[in-house]
Each structure stands twice: as structure tokens, then as C-alpha cells.
Structure 1
């Protein structure tokens, strides 16, 4: 969320925020600007939504979706810099940053290179040991579990498809997902810890958090369908602090 900047608008933050318990907020590198960061943090605080930094690579033209040749120290510094910026806005609004979740190509780079992943996690711990790290696939989750003192939550996806190895097909569009199908996948992950991969195979996804992309033009429709299922199955939504 908070991925608008200047005269360019992205996402449906005002409409989406009432439905969620945690928000991944851009911090100026792949998207956002200082004014949007302040407004998004204030919106999250107004709705009692947990604030997370969504750090990306310094590539606004590519929306942080193009991989870069960067060292572990450099990637760690990118995350630290953006975490610091969002933390300042959170403190200004009388709240705090709850979690860290890398964006786009940065996420893919961490998934493919455990040295990069460890560097980022060490950077997070050096700033605040209470921060929760949202692990977006099993490669990152396994690295996080080996990091002493790091609070980690595994995150599942219902508006993207999985490969059989539990990696995400991030190149696909999230715009044309059927709300009922997405809601069914939410229930499957939340109650059984499984989901159907793109090839039809049932795979384990031991997630305690579910991501919905706020830039999807149909995000509210998806969230409406999910909340109907939450009521139907008597599920509870809680903050990441409660499960980390």
C-alpha cells in the first residue's frame, strides 16, 4: 500500500484499509513519496492496522520489479534506510512499525540467495528485535528460522498461483482472479494449510498470514468474498504481533 507518488495514483488504500489487519507500506524506493507515506501511515493508524515497511530496490521507473546487481551490504542498507523513513512517520503518528516484508525483485533476490536474505534479516534485527519478518516463500522462511531472535511469520497468497515447489508465479496478473475462487483458497490455507498449485497438485502452505494485493482493481471484491468466508467458518483475524 502507499504506492502512489507525485501526480501518479496507485492502489485502493482508502477502500482496502478497513478490511485488513496489517499493511505493507512502500517507503520511497520502488514507490511512494514522503507525503504519501505520511498519509498512508495515518490511514493505517486510524483503522488500527499494523504497519509494515515494504522495502524495494531503488528503481521507481521499474516499480522495483527489475533485479539489480547488489551486494549483501547494499541490500541490507536499502532495507535499513526505508525502515528508518517509515519508522519516523509512524512515530510522528503516535504508532510504530510492526513488520518488514520486501517487495518485488528484492523479494525474488532474497529467495534465490540465502546470503542476501541473511544480510537483510541481520539488518532488521540490528534496528529492532521486536520487528516481525514476513517470509513470502519457503526458501526465505527456512533462512529466517535459522536466525536467532528473529520473529518470523510465513505468508500465503490467494491471488497468485504457486508452483509445485511452493514458489510463487509472481509474473502473472492478479487482476482477473475470481473472488469466490480466491476466498476458497483463503479457507483452504487457513483451515488445512494446503492449496492447489498451478499444475493441479495439492501442496502444503503453512501460512499464518495471507496477502491480498491492494493494487488489484478488484481488491475490495476479493476482500468482501474472503470476509464472507471468515464469518461462515468462524475464523479470527489477529495482528501479526499475536502470532509471531
Structure 2
């Protein structure tokens, strides 16, 4: 059973006057411990990045860069055919932008988490994962890589010594392989169902797949999405359910310290 867990959410995912979802970032910021902030390619712009980092700093929420494919129209959820080196250069460009806003507001870059289709491509593309992790080893050796456990990204991080955080997706379904099932329009999920799913994953290390089977799942952070309809209710019910079970919510730096005290490793 997990005694402490991080909650991360994708934030800053708008562009200019255009907004997505039914929940504003300010409402969610006080309910999470880590923020994945869009960096301009799939969503976000300089003013929004500045605003979102400032909000995170004010709420004591750790900041992470959330780079994606250069795909504003498709919200970064369409695969772009490019070489691994080209894609990592896109990531470097985006991480650099977010890191400067973090410096402006006196906060560190806690983590980098690729977005959407880029995240899923990296999970199964060892070359892309390795080049990405090589960049992290050079430019941000103490920053965490957020990824799925057992993915190519996770393997590359472990092999290189880059700290990694495994995620559990609260508002996404899983298949029997442990991969996320992509749904273009997920509708409005039931927050109570999600809360029960999260508590079970934390207590029993299991999640039910779309085919009805149970699979084992290991993670340090729970992810949900600000563009999921009802995101605010989801956040409240998850937190309340976890707290009721005695599971503490904390950023990954505290989780790392907790594991170290118990002789465990991330």
C-alpha cells in the first residue's frame, strides 16, 4: 500500500483567448502537488506559461515542463513523423522556455513530462527515449522524468541513472498490456468511480482493464487532466478518498525522501 503519493495535472493548456475543458487552472492548483505546464507547441503561450508558473509558485506546487508535438490544431494528440533528434530538439526548445519562466518566479524545474502522442510514442520508441534521456542527463540531471512504468522512457531513465517517476492515469482506461487506451471524446466520467479506482490502485496495486481483467500497476504519481470534463470534482473526490484511507499527498521530492528512509529506490 502506498503511504504517500503525488498528484499531477496538465495545466496551462489554452492558447490566447481559447480555453479547453470546464475547469480553470486556479481552481485546480490548490488540489495538486505537481503541475505539468504546456510549453507552447500543443497548447500554451508565453503569457499563459508565465501566469501558470506564478500560480504554482504561489500555491507551493512543483513545476514541470509538458512539451508536445508541434500540433496546436490537434492539441498534440496526432503523431508527427520526424526523426528522434528533431523531436528531442523540439523538446529542448520547449523545456528551455518553461525553465526561464520558472527562474523568473524563483522555482525549480522539478520534472519533464512529454505530452499526449509524443508521450505515447516515446513510451514505445527506444531511440527517442534514449536521446531524450541523454539530453536530460546533460541539461537537467536532477529533474525527474514522468513516464509509464516499464515503458521505453522508464527503461532509458533507469539505465542512465536519470530519476524517474511512474504515473497512474486516473481518468484514462488501461488495456491488458498496461498501456493507456486513447479516447478522443471521453465524455464526463463519474468522479466517484475514478476515486475508487485510484484508492484501489494505491492500496492493492491493481487496476481493471477495459476487457475486465485486473493487472498490477506500480507508480509514485497520479495523473488527471484539466481538460477532462468535471476535472474539479475529480480532484476533490480523489483527494478526499485518499485522505480517508490515510494516504498522504506530497510532491515527488518528499516521496523520494520517504522511500529513501525505508531503503527503497524510485
TM range (shorter): over 0.9
What stretches of structure 1 of length at least 5 have no aligned partner? none
What stretches of structure 2 of length at least 5 have no aligned partner? 1-10, 257-266
Quick one: which of 133, 136, 148 aligns to 2:148? 136
Quick one: which of 3, 6, 10 aligns to 2:16? 6
Cα distance in 1, alignment partners of residues 153 and 241 from structure 2: 27
SS at match of 2:166: strand
Which digits, 9 at most, give the CA deviation of each residue in 1:63-108, with x for residues without a partner? 1111111112111111111111000000001111100110011112
Residue aligning to 1:65: 77
Quick one: which of 48, 70, 76 aligns to 2:60? 48
- Cα RMSD for the two superposed structures: 1.4
Cα distance in 2, alignment partners of residues 104 and 150 from structure 1: 21
Cα distance in 2, alignment partners of residues 161 and 13 from structure 1: 24
1:114 aligns with 2:153: no
Structure 1 residue ranges (4+ consecutive) displaced by more than 6 angstroms after TM superposition: none
1:148 aligns with 2:148: no
SS at match of 1:87: helix
Cα distance in 2, alignment partners of residues 103 and 80 from structure 1: 14
Which digits, 9 at most, give the CA deviation of each residue in 1:108-149, with x for residues without a partner? 211221111111111122111110001135323542354322
Cα distance in 2, alignment partners of residues 132 and 3 from structure 1: 21
Alignment of 1:1-244 (within 5 A): 1-11=11-21, 12-140=24-152, 142-244=154-256
TM-score after normalising by structure 1: 0.95
Cα distance in 2, alignment partners of residues 179 and 212 from structure 1: 11
Task: Tell me, yes or no, if the aligned pair for 1:133 and 1:150 is still in contact at 8 Å.
Answer: yes
TM-score after normalising by structure 2: 0.88
SS at match of 2:78: coil
* CA spacing shift, 1:144–1:199, aligned 2, 3 Å: same
Structure holding more strand per residue: 2
